[in-house]
Structure 1
Amino acid sequence: MLKQSIHAAAKKMQIDFAEVTENINHMGERGSSREEILLSYLEKYIPIKYEMNNGVIIDATGEQSRQQDIIIYDSFNSPVLLNMQSTKMIPIESVFSVIKVKSSLNKVEINKCVNNISSVKSLVKDSLDGINSPTAGFVFAFTSSTTLETLLDNLVEANNEVEKHKQISALCVLDKGLIVNVSKKGLKDITLLPNEDTTPAIIKNTAENNLMLFYLLLMQYLNQSSVSVPNLLKYANAGELLNIEYSIPKKHVPLDGYYELDGGRVELDTAYSIMKGSKLLKKMEDGTASLRDIMLYLSRHLMEILTYTEQAYGSKSTDIEIYGKDYKVSDLERAIVVYNKLNNGEEVNKQELDFYTKLSNDMYTHYQSQVLLSKQ
């Protein structure tokens, strides 16, 4: 019964396509009609859990595929990120397969198909559970003015620029036959995910049987593949939907936590310890700090700042920028020793005092210049 139904569908598709070709001259309308012909057939035989639409596919990094004629995706769990009458935007994690539909296939159109499907298979899948089959890419054409052998030559040439796993799964020319990938070991098992152990082969048959085989290959892949729920927060953070920035009041900051910065890791207790000098920091940020305030803050927190920097960037710093100028850490440490001696009423020799005075005055001069710039 299924065979007779599909054979009847194949004959009707050819009639419908002939009418479209004869009556519609505008290429855009003709393209839409050929896709509708194939869609109307597939919708009769593909289970309802599979949704089919045209549109683009996107991943969580913000990369997009080229426009797809038919996207087959999970209709139960997949969010449609953009849902307009003219096009849809589907997350790659929800996509089982894509189909590129052509009126007639030739070398130019094969190159377009190869690049189109490669743009889908280049997208990164990042599902919540990590379970995701690769996306299959099919090509369906109603006819071709060239032989299947020539089309295979064209496909092999186009594939030279594309990695194996990004290549077309199967190609059907309704009135001629199919080009599929078969295992090199035995040369008979059809594989819908091309790899280094597969090679392309030709299957010639009647239009009815070609459509039957195309349907069976598509259903076989849909039945054996798995999709998953996309991590929508990663899509949001990619900037395609919205930007998410967290804010935690100081009294609720978990001191046993950490955050990541430029590949490094900063412990929150270190950052919080630095912020304990918030009154001094506020004066410095307001532009009201004295030289003594700056030196007092550095004497209390220089080691913590260095620890913070090392955690963030993965290496110890020999220089540190303060108010737009780099200072050697060793010079700052030496100045702090002198500052503490002066603060405690200890004796300081002239060489130490001259060094301290020069460095601290230079730092304060840069601080004041930064304050003036911020007020302009």
Structure 2
Amino acid sequence: MNQAFRDLFGAKVAGAVASAKALGQVDHSGLKGALREVLVRSLLRPFLPPSIGVGHGIVISAYDDQSTEQDIVIFNRASLPCILIDEESGLFPLESTLFTIEVKSRLNATELEKTHEKAARLEKLRHTPGETTPEHVIPCLFAFETDLVQKTDLHRYQELIGTSDPSIREICVVGQGRWFWTPQGWHHTPPTDTYSEVAGLIDGISSVYERVQATRSRPLLLNYVD
């Protein structure tokens, strides 16, 4: 552990959480959403390598499929080019997209169900054929706080999906914990006063993206335009 690094990271997350709570008092959903996305990107971008981009928009496939609008899209800059409307927003080819993150200021049952439905639709996008079976985009959910007191959002999600495999593969709720799914089941990072749950999310993305990208084909641009 490096004390200075830990303290600076904790201060950065604490500032983002405080800003998100203040934004929660603003009665304008579009403004709240845009600003919360910027806050989360400010936590992600400094800890990801330059080859990994962070944007906002829609994931598309070569088969004319598309996702719903995604709050955060984490993509590989070295793969197929993305079509950006501005510096961050646009269309992201499926083969380039590694993670998506839905951002909530305060998570509740309705927002959790909407996020699950968006992740389930994303799962249906079809990859172009390759030498190996491609690992799909990993949908994540990040919330600055939750309306739950007696149980966790993982329990709420398990109640929602029953015995089905989850469409949301990672859940991080500040102050509650982080859960990520593998074929062996759910794994938990408990919350700490230095925000280990948030550090776990960032570390998970940093340590997994190369594995995901290695399973992907690299189709020709013509697959998307012709």
- Is the shorter-chain TM-score for this pair beyond 0.5, marking a shared fold? yes
Contact 1:35–1:70, Cα closer than 8 Å, also in 2: yes
Equivalent residue number for residue 214 of structure 1: 201
Q: How many residues align?
A: 219
1:66 partner SS: coil
1:178 partner SS: strand
Equivalent residue number for residue 71 of structure 2: 69
Q: Distance in 1 between matches of 2:220 and 2:162?
A: 34
Equivalent residue number for residue 23 of structure 2: 20
Q: Deviations over 1:62-85 (max 9, x none)?
A: 1111110111111123212x3213
Equivalent residue number for residue 324 of structure 1: none
Which runs of no fewer than 5 residues in structure 2 stay unpaired? none
Q: Distance in 2 between matches of 1:94 and 1:8?
A: 32
1:58 aligns with 2:47: no
Equivalent residue number for residue 321 of structure 1: none
Which runs of no fewer than 5 residues in structure 1 stay unpaired? 182-190, 238-376
Cα pair distance change 1:104/1:230, threshold 3 Å: farther
Equivalent residue number for residue 115 of structure 2: 113
Q: Deviations over 1:175-231 (max 9, x none)?
A: 2212333xxxxxxxxx3xxx4xx3335543225211111111222222432144233
Contact 1:6–1:211, Cα closer than 8 Å, also in 2: no
Equivalent residue number for residue 224 of structure 2: 235
- Return the letter of the residue paired with 1:176: Q
Contact 1:57–1:92, Cα closer than 8 Å, also in 2: yes
Question: Aligned-pair distance for 1:157?
Answer: 3.0
Contact 2:76–2:97, Cα closer than 8 Å, also in 1: yes
- Return the letter of the residue paired with 2:185: T
Cα pair distance change 1:140/1:167, threshold 3 Å: same
2:144 partner SS: strand
- Return the letter of the residue paired with 2:110: V
1:104 partner SS: coil
1:171 aligns with 2:157: no
Which of 28, 31, 40 is matched with 1:29 structurally?
A: 31
Contact 1:93–1:127, Cα closer than 8 Å, also in 2: no
Q: Distance in 2 between matches of 1:233 and 1:171?
A: 36
- Return the letter of the residue paired with 2:24: T
Q: Distance in 2 between matches of 1:148 and 1:41?
A: 29
Q: What are the residue-to-residue correspondences of 1:185-264 with 2, within 5 Å?
A: 191=182, 195=183, 198-200=184-186, 202-206=188-192, 208-226=195-213, 227-237=216-226
- Indicate the structure (1 or 2) with the bigger Cα radius of gyration: 1
Q: Distance in 2 between matches of 1:38 and 1:150?
A: 21
Equivalent residue number for residue 6 of structure 1: 9
- Return the letter of the residue paired with 1:218: I
Equivalent residue number for residue 83 of structure 1: 84
Q: Distance in 2 between matches of 1:89 and 1:148?
A: 40
More contact order relative to length (CA 8 Å, sep ≥ 6): 2
Contact 2:58–2:68, Cα closer than 8 Å, also in 1: yes
Cα pair distance change 1:28/1:108, threshold 3 Å: same
1:149 partner SS: coil
1:47 partner SS: coil
Q: Deviations over 1:12-61 (max 9, x none)?
A: 21122233224x32011101111100001111111111011010011111
Question: Aligned-pair distance for 1:150?
Answer: 4.5
Q: Distance in 1 between matches of 2:116 and 2:16?
A: 24
Equivalent residue number for residue 50 of structure 2: 48
Normalized against structure 2, the TM-score is what?
0.86
Contact 2:21–2:105, Cα closer than 8 Å, also in 1: no
Q: Distance in 1 between matches of 2:22 and 2:51?
A: 31
Equivalent residue number for residue 99 of structure 1: 101
Q: Identity rate of aligned residues, in percent?
A: 22
Equivalent residue number for residue 125 of structure 1: 127
Contact 2:54–2:74, Cα closer than 8 Å, also in 1: yes
Q: Distance in 2 between matches of 1:27 and 1:48?
A: 31
Q: Deviations over 1:135-163 (max 9, x none)?
A: 111110000010473422321133249x5
Q: Distance in 2 between matches of 1:11 and 1:180?
A: 22
Q: Distance in 2 between matches of 1:147 and 1:217?
A: 26
Q: Distance in 1 between matches of 2:180 and 2:149?
A: 15
